[in-house]
Structure 1
Amino acid sequence: MAKDRNNVVEAVRQSPPLDMGPYDPAGVSGKTIIITGGASGFGEGFARNWAAHGANVIIADISNGQPLAEEIRKAGGTAHYVRCDVTNWQSQVDMFREAVKLSPRGTIDAVVCNAGITDSGNSFTDPVGMDKEEPPKPVFKTIDVNLIGVMYSTHLAMHWLPLNEKPKNNPGGYSPDRHILLIGSVASLVPIPLLVQYGASKHAVLGLFRSLRATSFVKGIRINLLCPYFIDTPLIPPAGRSLLLGGAMGKPNDVVDAGTRLMADSTIHGRALVIGPSVKIDDEWKLLPEDTPDIDNVAVWEVLGSDFIEVDAFTRRFVSMLNAVERVRGWYGWGYDLVRMLAYPVTSRLRR
């Protein structure tokens, strides 16, 4: 069979589709893992679970995570709290440096970009003060936390993770990792009415994931994504809960389990999981009664698994057209463009 040149799965080192059967959570043992927003919600669940399985957890949060860290230590785990404002660059830099000091090996294995909030600050659809000569600058706090904070964390991970080399003397069987786990949302995939900032920020996290998973392997870094549906955590305000009346929310434990699956297996790269309410469905995604025999409940599904296998018709045709233009122009076109590039500073001034 001829190889499809548009299939670049091997080129980007994307791992095979996930086997959603049993897995070994002990794969997190010995790893030093930074969790932003680790003092509550998913972050707290990750911290408790991974520390219980032998990880060294760094709880990075603007809220006080010291009581959680102490609880984990009393239970026999290893956890440290480092105060961090993810929207502040220097605060994140200091947190990463402190995490390295707190790591038994002086390295970092994984960074979980978990800190996030729902829409906060000015309403996007209702600008204020427009009757003034100089309207006040809008406060887009959700963008600052959910996007800028994630970009800071991921950018710093690009420096610290490649420094995690395999130790020469390794009697405990520790296997170093270089893992970035992004926390998106179902809002990364579909619009959520009225939550403009939240939806935009989570779409951006998806874009970050799709961009990095095609290139991060060059630095030996693997990247994965979780996209939870509405999960029963403090992040959902009363107004949001009222909109979900009569529907179903997912469970935090299912999110923690999905994250643990990705964290424990260092061979998984470029994969994304959606977590929703636990349901029984058939092969055509039709909902089945809860008492249907011989059908297991499902709460986790893989998504965006075929991005590198096939793309939509327009994208494929557009890229093919651009490649054809490049082939037709050949070396002459390359040389012509090079001359234009070198001459641009001069020609642009002459046009003024």
Structure 2
Amino acid sequence: MATYEPQSPAILQSPPLDITVPYDAAWVKDKVILITGGASGFGAGFVRHWAKHGATVVIGDVNVQKGDALCREINKEVAGNNKVHFVHCDVTDWQSQVNLFKAAVKLSPHGGIDCCVANAGIAGPDVMQKGSNLDAAEPPPPAFKIIDVNLTGVLYTTHLACFWLPKNPGSSPSSIDSKPSSSSPRDRHLLLLGSMASLAPIAIQPQYCAAKHAVLGLFRSLRATSSLQGIRINLLCPYFIDTPMVTTPARLALAGGGLGKPEDVVEAATRFVSDSRILGRALVIGPKMHVRQTRTGEWELDTPGAPGSIETAVFEPYVDDWEDQEAWNRNFVRLLNGVQAARGWVGWAQDVGKAILNGFGLVR
């Protein structure tokens, strides 16, 4: 079992993960997990794996046929009281998500939700740069379905999770000092699904890229404050994964490279869901490769079996971002801190006075 020691008492998130340290998938036993978009793709892989290890899973998906069939299949295979349930849900519809969360609470054996996985997402032809007849007197608004599902839907899920997770009976505020226990699995966990498009541009998918960049921003903001509600938040950023979501044109564009495997995404997600000590971390999942880490912390390809070489598909971005931001950010923050230090307490008092007067409308 890994040991998790905070690098600073002021940082309410886990230190960098050692992905070579094994975890126990059995830690998901008896957890109640709500997942959006779990009827297909690696979302269905999450559902199968977690149900196999004893979790109760509630799937919210717009595809009734696939979702219902998946639940029936899994429930025939798993033993015990844990079940997989399907609830029709359109993540772009607020009331539909409200109904999903309320249904999950009713279906929960203990009346609460341990983990919410904001997994629902779509890709496809993007209309952003393909306008027509926009010079008409009243051109119709564009269909931004990709934004609606991949961002607005995630925001709805997050908003509801922040309400329901702290109400989980028997759960305690999440902490890096907590210990996974099969006898006391109550949790408060929100797992967001980003993408490599959260970290790098996807030229022909501006909506998808914008939405996934936004999910990264949501994650980085919430992990600084979610501990106030005792909620732990983590993020998955899959590369192109070998699922039906990767279209034929995309596969042609990626020819000669490598696709990630769904089972590696499932493994990374299960590490987050099962180990309640992991707070505020992100993992990127790509094709499996043999690599070694240099003294500067960079990864490079290596010969299989060479000293220091490991085979992995999982890497952690933003490992030390509370200490070492990107170069431009770090420089700009240093300048801002320098201004604050130069102004000192006198500058602080002046700003406080102006803020109070501004509140009374006396200064602008």
What TM-score, normalized to structure 2? 0.87
Measure, in 2, the Cα distance between the counterparts of 1:112 and 1:229.
18
Task: Indicate conservation of the 8 Å contact 1:226/1:273, yes or no.
Answer: yes
Task: Indicate conservation of the 8 Å contact 2:283/2:316, yes or no.
Answer: yes
Alignment of 1:289-308 (within 5 A): 289-290=303-304, 295-308=309-322
Quote the offset at 1:81 in angstroms. Answer: 0.3
Quote the offset at 1:321 in angstroms. Answer: 2.4
Task: Name the stretch that deviates more: 76-85 or 9-18.
Answer: 9-18
Task: Indicate conservation of the 8 Å contact 2:27/2:182, yes or no.
Answer: no
Change (3 A) 1:10 1:340: same
Q: Which residue of structure 1 aligns with residue 53 of structure 2?
A: 53
Quote the offset at 1:129 in angstroms. Answer: 1.4
Q: Which residue of structure 2 aligns with residue 195 of structure 1?
A: 205
Q: Which residue of structure 2 aligns with residue 137 of structure 1?
A: 141
Measure, in 2, the Cα distance between the counterparts of 1:172 and 1:16.
24
Measure, in 1, the Cα distance between the counterparts of 2:182 and 2:287.
39
Measure, in 1, the Cα distance between the counterparts of 2:306 and 2:238.
25
Quote the offset at 1:332 in angstroms. Answer: 4.2
Q: Secondary structure at the match of 2:361?
A: helix
Change (3 A) 1:167 1:237: closer
Q: Which residue of structure 2 aligns with residue 73 of structure 1?
A: 75
- Number of matched pairs: 337
Alignment of 1:239-258 (within 5 A): 239-258=249-268
Change (3 A) 1:95 1:324: farther
Identity of aligned residues (%): 50
Alignment of 1:169-184 (within 5 A): 173-184=183-194
Aligned partner (choices 108, 121, 129) of residue 116 of structure 1? 121
Quote the offset at 1:322 in angstroms. Answer: 4.5
Residue 96 of structure 1 aligns with an amino acid whose one-letter code is F
Task: Indicate conservation of the 8 Å contact 2:7/2:15, yes or no.
Answer: no
Measure, in 1, the Cα distance between the counterparts of 2:58 and 2:112.
12
**2:143 aligned with 1:125, yes or no?**
no
Alignment of 1:339-350 (within 5 A): 339-343=357-361
Aligned partner (choices 355, 358, 361) of residue 337 of structure 1? 355
Change (3 A) 1:334 1:278: same
Alignment of 1:1-352 (within 5 A): 9-20=8-19, 21-64=21-64, 65-76=67-78, 77-120=82-125, 123-166=127-170, 173-284=183-294, 285-290=299-304, 295-311=309-325, 312-322=330-340, 325=343, 327-343=345-361
Q: Which residue of structure 1 aligns with residue 178 of structure 2?
A: none
Residue 69 of structure 2 aligns with an amino acid whose one-letter code is P
Residue 158 of structure 2 aligns with an amino acid whose one-letter code is T
Measure, in 2, the Cα distance between the counterparts of 1:316 and 1:294.
36
Task: Name the stretch that deviates more: 156-165 or 275-284.
Answer: 275-284
Change (3 A) 1:293 1:150: same
Q: Secondary structure at the match of 1:297?
A: strand
Residues 105-131 of structure 1: CA deviation (Å, up to 9, x unaligned): 1100110000001145x5211222123
Measure, in 2, the Cα distance between the counterparts of 1:62 and 1:181.
20
Change (3 A) 1:183 1:320: farther
Deviating above 6 A after TM superposition, structure 1's stretches of 4 or more consecutive aligned residues are none
Task: Indicate conservation of the 8 Å contact 2:110/2:169, yes or no.
Answer: no
What TM-score, normalized to structure 1? 0.90
Q: Secondary structure at the match of 1:280?
A: strand
Task: Name the stretch that deviates more: 332-341 or 172-181.
Answer: 332-341
Measure, in 1, the Cα distance between the counterparts of 2:42 and 2:307.
32
Measure, in 1, the Cα distance between the counterparts of 2:242 and 2:301.
21
Measure, in 2, the Cα distance between the counterparts of 1:234 and 1:342.
58
Quote the offset at 1:294 in angstroms. Answer: 7.6
Q: CA RMSD in A?
A: 2.3
Q: Secondary structure at the match of 1:274?
A: strand
Quote the offset at 1:244 in angstroms. Answer: 0.9
Quote the offset at 1:331 in angstroms. Answer: 3.0
Q: Which residue of structure 1 aligns with residue 175 of structure 2?
A: none
Unaligned runs of 5+ in 1: 1-6
Task: Indicate conservation of the 8 Å contact 2:25/2:53, yes or no.
Answer: yes
Measure, in 1, the Cα distance between the counterparts of 2:70 and 2:349.
62
Residue 201 of structure 2 aligns with an amino acid whose one-letter code is P
Unaligned runs of 5+ in 2: 1-5, 173-180
Measure, in 1, the Cα distance between the counterparts of 2:268 and 2:337.
35
